[in-house]
Structures are given as C-alpha cells and as structure tokens.
Chain A
Amino acid sequence: MEFRQYLASNHKLEWPYPIKYGEETRVDADVLVIGGGLAGSFAAISATAAGARVIIADKAPIVRSGSAGPGIDHWSRCNTNPCAAYAPDEMLEVNPPDPYSAAHVNYIAMNEAWACAKELESYGLVIRDENDEYAGAAYRDPETKLMFAYDYAAKDVLRLKGGEQLKPILYREMKRIGVEMYERVFVTKLLTEGGRSGGRVIGATGFSTRTGEFFVFNAKSTVMATANPVRLWAFASENIGSGAHEYDPHLDGDGNVMAWDAGAKLMMMERSHSGSGGRRYPSYMTGNSDNTWYGCIMVDADGKEIPWVDRDGKRLNTFDERIARAPGQRYWSPGGAKNPYRIRGPHSIADLEERILSGEYKLPFFADMTRMSDTERRGIFGLMLGAEGKTKIPVVETLTNAGFDPERDMLMANVLHPKYAGIPSEPYWDVKTAGVNGPNIRETSFLNYGGLLVDWDLRSSLKGLYAAGNQIAGASGASVAASTGRYAGRAAAAWAEACKAASPAETQIAAEKERVYAYARRDKGYGWKEIQIGLCRIMQDYCGDIKSKEVLEMGLWWLDSIRENELARAMAANPHELGRILGCTVRLAVNEIIIRQCLARESSSEALGFARSDFPRDGDADGQHLVISRRDGTTLVERVPFDYCASEGTPRECYAKHSRL
C-alpha cells in the first residue's frame, strides 16, 4: 500500500475546501479571456472598455498570477513616450525586428506600450520618480521624472518604479470595472461550433483546482493568453528552490495545446535554446549585469575588474561608457556579445572563459556595487531589484535582513564552468533556466518562442479565437504582453459585437468531463511529479541538442506509450493534484507538437537553436517560417514568408486599419 493511501485511509485528513466534483456551472459572456496574466488582464480591461461583457479564467489567483505576478523592472518599446529618441516608424529603420519575432506584434507594442504604462499609472501604479528619490541620476529625465534603462540616449525602455505592484493594481482595476473573474480554474478545452475541428471557437471548459467543480464558458469570442510552455526538458521541484524555474510554473503549454486540438495553426514550435542545469542561485540574486543588474561591476577573487568592451572591442573603462553607444552606433540593446553588430551594446569581454581557464581572472567573482555611483548602485539594489519579479523579498529583503550592505559588501557570484551556464544573452554567473542538477538542458523561456500564428487583428487561424502575450508565436516580454492584450481585447470585443452566440455541443462537453475526472476516480496510480520528470527525459533524449528523424520518431513513440500506460494510470488525490496531472497531459501534448514541428523542418536553424544532423544546412536564409496544424488526425505543414503580415501594406497602414483606435 502506498503510504499516502495508508495515511488518508487511517486518519481523518480532510481537504480544506468543499469538494464539488461533477457539479457544473455554466457562464455566458461576450468575451472569454483564458489566462489572467499580463496579456489576459489587459485584454479583459480593454474588451470591457469596448462594451463587452467579459469573463476571465486563470489557473492561479489573478492578483499575483503569471510570470509578471511578483513584478517586473523594465517596460520596453515605449517609443511614443515624450522622451523617446525614436518614434515607432523610425525605430523600424534603426532596429529592424529580427525575423523570428513577429514583426506586427513588435509594431503594435511600439505603438501601445507607453499607452499601457499610462493606463497603469491611471490605475495607481507608480511609473515615475515622483518623490525625487533618484534625482540627478543619468537615467532619469528631470522634467517627466521618468527613468530609463540600457541605452540611456534612446529612452525607450522604462524602469517601472512600482513594477512590483503591477498585478495587484490590474486585479483591482478589473474588479472595479466588473470583469467576472474565475480564479484557480484550469481551462482544459476549447469548444467549437458543432464540436468540429477547425470550427468557430465559442468558449471553453475548465475545473476548479480547489473544489473540482466543472465550468462551461460560452462566449462569442475568446482571447487565449496562457503564454508559452516552460521546463519541458528539465523539472525538479526538489532541492532547487528559486532556481527550479524562471517562468511561472503554471505554464504547461495550455493555450498551444487547446488551440492545436481545435485545429489552429502554430508556428516556431521547434525553437529552444540550450541552458545550464540547476546549479544556480536565486534569479537575479547576484550581478546579472546584462539585465536587472545592467552595468554592475564584477571583480575577480583579487578584486580585478572584469573588463567591458564595446561592439568594436574597445575597452570601456568607466561606468558611463557602459551605457553609451559605440562610435557611429544609433541604438543598442542589452544582450552581450552575441547580439547582432548593429545593436550590440557594451558587454563584458567575450573570451572570459579562456581567461578564467588560463588563470588570468580568478574565481570566485563578486558583484561589486561599492565602486558604483550612489544613483547607479541604488538603481540596481533598490529601484530594479525592488520592482523585478522574485527579487523584492527573495533578494533585497533576504540579503538586507541577513546584513548585506551594497555600500560595503561584494556579493559572490555562482562558481560555474562558463561553458555550461546561462542563456545566450546573459552573463554565465547569473544563469537563468529551468534547472535540475546536471549539465546541459534545453529551455523555452526568455526569447520569442513558438505559439499561435496570428494576423493583424491578433486573430488565430480560427474564427473567434484571438491571442495575446507570449501565446503568440514570436512574442515575448511584459510590455508586449500588455500591448497585445489591450489590442486583442478590442478586436475580440468587436467580433463579439458583430456575431451571434452559438450553443456548445453537449457531446464535446461530456467527453471532456469524462477525460478530466478520470484521474480523480482512481485510488491508486502514478503521481504527477514522476510523470512530469519522465516526460522531461523524453525531451532530453529525443528532442535534444542534436536531432534527427530517427530520434524524433522515437520520441513520438515514447510519448504515445506514456499516454497509454503511465498517464492512463495517473491518480489525483485532490483537485490540486488533478490540476498538476492535467498539466502533465498538456505537457505531453505540447511535446508532441514540438516534435512534429521538429520533424517537419528539414533544415537546421541557428536562430531557432535548432540542429538536425540529417539536415545540417542552415535554413535561416530561406526566409520562411514553418506552420503546422492538425485536422482530423493528420498534421498539416505549410510555409509562410518571414514577412507574412506585410502583404496588406506597411506596418503603419496595417496598424491604422486594424488597431481600432
């Protein structure tokens, strides 16, 4: 007998919430938003403003849900703010978007990110240095009291002073305007007209992870905002702490799987990057000098500074040089030596690895803020770390309570082998990845990963289904999520106004109920953690650094086998565990989508972090994205040009036509 079974049957260990398995609530609305993170919250607010009756469902409590729940420190693409050096159209020339980030999404964000920040300010978020705490700082505009990051001359990336309160403030605003919120409701399936694959989307089903109650949401339009899956290759809840996963642990790949099941088109699902395992400190705890700790001075064991250089290799000796452009450069963004030359900013020397190995720079390294000016030091240990997610309490409060003083002390950095650590755009000593102990894994957080293919209305290939935030193929970042949410909310409300409601197919609902509850009926079986780790093993082995037809096909075989065996014998002891097991079903399905897309791509791609040993030719120059979808059991593959959203005209023309402003 399994110990938990023994415990539960011999002791009165009652679940603290009322159990409502099998009970069903039906709700109608104009617009359903799935996922109440940053994108979903903005979508719900803008659809409500457009006159729609809106419901929003989230697996988690909306007040703090999503990757941005604990806060964010920088708000990019504010190209319409009064200080910005480049307006959106000019920015397109100065910094043309990379083909693997959705160009229309980028343009929408450049036009609306600042409007989103101002909206947040009107809800009560502090976005300016009103009380002059940072007066005199080089990153602060004295007139508007706005503060900027990175390329100080461009003034397009806002340091969001009150960033830690982002979600609580959005939550209060949704409450105030009457958005109906369904929290801790795990949405599992899209309902389509007549239950047909490829049909119009008319709502979704879900269940409560506290009570087990079943929900049927019937809506004229749906905005999918569940972000991209993370930790598909590596998962360990045990012994990793904050390092276990960078992004929200609820991101199983839900929206991609639900949309795929309904017949929608997905793109770029083959993208991933290599990262380290879990030997890391808590996120942003020490010296991430390419991001939240931008520009922070790092020293070696003897106190020798790790040198910085500009894109031409010229040594930068002062802090002020680390925020300046190289001669002839019009714009740069952080991201280290691997950024394209045009926008490659100041960064620490690229050959640091060799110099460490040769003994020139001795480990351990330290983040030395004592050498920085007061405003720059507080800009990091105060402004940025006070706003960024998972840093206010886990870093600033923890270190301060333990006696750390940034004016006197130097924080030690991870002692790792540079080869096995970090994502490509950040310093190796503050590695960021989904981790387990072990050297090399792959990951899908932090860059522009795959997701739904959307048009200029942010509509997917299915009628009635819109997407926002990291759900969109090629989208990433907080201000992009907010901007696309705001935009998609308007589009979804307009569609809802123009169309009639349709009743869901009862057979579709009944089948889903059966599928969901099966795990809660067994009194014996596999637990979610072992299954999730097992699925990671499949991705490590069969969808790893080097792919080929043979290994990928073995991966599909394994996934089928897990589905029919272990997963079919999984058991949930309560509604919480039911959520985690349903998460595993999503993970299995998203792995399958990824492997199918990997199989369909018969070329490698450096940009996508994609290597096939049987098709080594790099296909980036072909200028095409691969798009996949599933209809009646067959995978359909098509190709779209990189500029797939340019056929209607220039970005400015398309935006004018579709933005509904």
Chain B
Amino acid sequence: MYNAYFVPNPATPNECVSFDESKCVGCNHCVETCRCDVLMPNPEKGSPPIVLYPDECWFCGTCVADCPVGGGAITLNHPINQRICWKRKETGEIFRVKYEYMK
C-alpha cells in the first residue's frame, strides 16, 4: 500500500509530545494543564488527546510532570534541531538524545 492523502504538510515540530496508547487512559489531565491548548480532548472517550497545535508547544514539560499515570504514558519530544549530544569521558564515545520509540 502507498500513501496518497490530500493533506497539508505536517506542522513542525511534528510531535512535541507523544502518547503510549497502551498506557494513556485518556483522562485529559494534560489537556487541562497545557497553557497553550496544544492538546485537545479526543472525541473518542478514553483515548489519548489529539495534538492539535504542536507548533505552539512551549516545551515546558508540565503535561509530562503532572501526568497521573506516568511511566511514559506521555513523553516530551524535543524537535530534531534541539537534540543534543554528549561525550563519555573515559572512552570518547559520542551519544545523543534519541527517541527510540518514535516510529
């Protein structure tokens, strides 16, 4: 199957927060916490919120900090140009921020 949708470009950042559907209970606590109304309640009750305005995210992380479920039900994703790296002193190896779970 190939994609051929009649849709506008994805907003950047694409996905400022992502939900783990197996953990999120759709309580909308994050929707109520977000100062920018980035998140909207899902019309389907119990499902993760819809990320309507990712381009307005302040990346404050309070939606994650205040999530009553925790444990990765919601994760903050810095956009690619904000992912930094570090060096392990002993070995000189370089590592970076990655979001392995993002498909």
Cross-chain contact A61 with B82 (CB below 8 angstroms):
no
Cross-chain contact A60 with B35 (CB below 8 angstroms):
yes
Whole-angstrom CA separation of A237 from B85 in the bound complex? 24
Pick from A242, A248, A368, A412: contact of B78, CB under 8 Å: A242
B69 at the interface (CB under 8 A from A): no
**Min distance, Cβ B11 to any Cβ of chain A, angstroms:** 7
Residue among A14, A61, A241, A285 with max Cβ neighbours from chain B (10 Å): A241
Cross-chain contact A241 with B84 (CB below 8 angstroms):
no
**Min distance, Cβ A398 to any Cβ of chain B, angstroms:** 6
Query: Inside 8 A of B95's CB, which chain A residues have their CB?
Result: 402-404, 409
Of all chain A residues, the one with the shortest Cβ separation from B62 is: A64
**Min distance, Cβ B36 to any Cβ of chain A, angstroms:** 6
Query: Inside 8 A of A60's CB, which chain B residues have their CB?
Result: 35-36
Q: Indicate with 1 or 0, residue by residue over B33-49, a CB within 8 angstroms of chain A CB atoms.
A: 11111001101000000
Pick from B33, B78, B87: contact of A241, CB under 8 Å: B78
Of all chain B residues, the one with the shortest Cβ separation from A242 is: B59
Tell me the residues in window 545-591 of chain A with beta carbons closer than 8 Å to chain B beta carbons. Answer: 576
Of all chain A residues, the one with the shortest Cβ separation from B85 is: A412
Whole-angstrom CA separation of A240 from B11 in the bound complex? 12
Interface residues on A, range: 35 or more
Pick from B65, B96, B98: contact of A392, CB under 8 Å: B65
Cross-chain contact A61 with B87 (CB below 8 angstroms):
no
Pick from A14, A248, A282: contact of B82, CB under 8 Å: A282
B103 at the interface (CB under 8 A from A): no
Whole-angstrom CA separation of A428 from B48 in the bound complex? 40
Query: Inside 8 A of B82's CB, which chain A residues have their CB?
Result: 240-243, 281-282
Cross-chain contact B56 with A237 (CB below 8 angstroms):
yes
With A366-B87, A393-B65, A402-B96 known as contacts, the answer to whether A64 contacts B35 (CB < 8 A) is yes
Whole-angstrom CA separation of A390 from B32 in the bound complex? 18
Cross-chain contact A248 with B35 (CB below 8 angstroms):
yes
13 contacts between A and B (CB under 8 A): A3-B8, A70-B62, A164-B65, A239-B13, A240-B82, A241-B78, A250-B35, A282-B84, A285-B84, A368-B89, A398-B97, A402-B98, A411-B86
A contact residues vs B (CB 8 Å cutoff): 3, 14, 16, 60-61, 63-65, 69-70, 164, 168, 184, 209-210, 237-245, 248-250, 281-282, 285-286, 366, 368, 370, 389-390, 392-394, 397-399, 402-404, 408-412, 576
Question: Which 10 pairs show the lowest CB-CB distances between chains A and B?
Answer: A393-B61, A242-B59, A60-B35, A70-B60, A241-B82, A237-B55, A241-B79, A393-B64, A409-B86, A64-B62
Given contacts A250-B36, A398-B78, A403-B95, 20 further A-B contacts (CB under 8 A): A63-B32, A64-B60, A64-B62, A65-B35, A69-B60, A70-B61, A168-B66, A237-B56, A238-B55, A240-B81, A248-B58, A249-B35, A281-B84, A366-B86, A390-B61, A398-B97, A408-B89, A410-B87, A411-B84, A412-B87
